[in-house]
A and B are shown apart, each in its own frame.
Chain A
């Protein structure tokens, strides 16, 4: 199963997690893990999700999440987890 990592970085505001989670639920994307920190008022979240049951192709999901990010003033990035596993695990 290929996992996707979603990162959200930006100025903290009300409803960031809610908006992202709503989108994921609507598209049948399962959240496996969430971690979150706030550094100097900056919101920093990472989600590990399973998008295999979603009907959306990866590129559409990435684009739409990017758009949601723009609307709420944060940067949302989607990446397949392989890049992180390769770099940080032997």
Chain B
């Protein structure tokens, strides 16, 4: 039988170390909503989402109460809208009507974010994909809860450089359309290489076409728990360090597994995966950077950071895999800048640069995340940054992403407030040398040699 020390340990994780379930994300397939009539399509989408997800928030809240574990977000992901709208949408504005429908449905069922305003263009771009991509700035500026993502490359297909070039421009345009509120729309837009079909985390969640009609995916979070556990083994060798992370990750993930199974049972929707990610928040003590410091760095970004992060990421996976029957999504440590107080401190101290962050993305999920850069950054420079990140993902057969915010009217030295879980970020300097001639080449980068495994 459970004893008082075990009960206290769990409750201390929840109350003092910010252990929580970051998100229950309900994936909904919209493939059966496809219609060549735009009004019909919108009506069907609204109906499908509001019917399938009507109890999601209620069940999330019940689970939170009964198990005493905070379930911070209840969210929805849908089939990439470029596929769903292809038959009906003839202009970018047609796609914007779908974004508004998604927003309305999200409000109706009470979820705070809905992902899947997406296009998958890793090899080529269809007419509909391009229309959707061109509609993103307006779609994000005129909705509150819709998140957008674009998959620009994969290990199997290479990198679609035409789409990379276009996304540089789209990110700038998205920033411009919300320039009065610090370009915040860019927070809801992410580009990927090797995007997973079952990611529960925003802004990149979408419901892949390989998924069933509806599915429950859960993302847990516990950087504070890992940090506290590590504070008890200061000075110990790497074996002890790694074992401690593994055991803690196991415990954290078990909570995710329980919540996923309960949500699945109560909603009568199959359980998909638990995402093993260590996802920070701006709350003090809920920081991945603080774990790196606990491992032995003065600041995240100091020499040794990439190794420490690689170790952390690997142990989190090793501990988490056994704790859950199905693991998927992004699964690894997140290193967003604005959402992690330790990262913000490191940037402000001058310890952490964009280039070091890029190196860190080679060994963890996901990529350059929630990074504010000067608003006058050129579109081609953003495309260059994206291309670099996509190349890391393609060559290393892992997911990489870029969620970057060119804050219009602001420059290095200033900060930008995103609010709530999104936090705030110091504007980081970007390398000023040009990559125009590289980015302006047409076509795609071929798939790497090690992708030919058949």
Enumerate chain A interface residues (CB-CB to B < 8 A): 5, 7, 33, 35-37, 44-46, 48, 58-59, 62, 77-88
Complex: chain B residue closest to A5, CB-CB: B7
Contact A37 B66 (CB under 8 A): no
Q: What is the CA–CA distance of A79 and B262 in the complex, to the nearest angstrom?
A: 14
Contact A79 B2 (CB under 8 A): no
Q: Per a CB cutoff under 8 Å, which of B7, B65, B66, B262 touches A84?
A: B7
Contact B2 A84 (CB under 8 A): yes
Residues of A within 8 A of B9 (CB): 88
What's the minimum C-beta distance from A23 to chain B, rounded to whole angstroms? 18
Q: Per a CB cutoff under 8 Å, which of B4, B66, B254, B258 touches A46?
A: B4
| Prevailing SS type, chain B contact patch | helix
Q: Per a CB cutoff under 8 Å, which of B7, B66, B251, B257 touches A7?
A: B7
Q: Which of B1-43 contact A (CB under 8 A)?
A: 1-4, 6-11
B69 at the interface (CB under 8 A from A): yes
Complex: chain B residue closest to A75, CB-CB: B15
Contact B4 A79 (CB under 8 A): no
What's the minimum C-beta distance from B328 to chain A, rounded to whole angstroms? 19
What's the minimum C-beta distance from A30 to chain B, rounded to whole angstroms? 15
Residues of B within 8 A of A58 (CB): 65-66
Q: What is the CA–CA distance of A77 and B11 in the complex, to the nearest angstrom?
A: 9
Contact B69 A83 (CB under 8 A): yes
Q: A46-B7, A77-B68, A79-B67 are in contact. Are A86 and B257 (CB under 8 A)?
A: yes
Residues of A within 8 A of B258 (CB): 82-83, 86
What's the minimum C-beta distance from A14 to chain B, rounded to whole angstroms? 21
Q: Which of B198-221 contact A (CB under 8 A)?
A: none
Q: Per a CB cutoff under 8 Å, which of A35, A62, A87 touches B4?
A: A35
Q: Per a CB cutoff under 8 Å, which of A59, A79, A87 touches B254?
A: A87
Residues of B within 8 A of A87 (CB): 6, 10, 251, 254-255
Q: What is the CA–CA distance of A80 and B68 in the complex, to the nearest angstrom?
A: 8
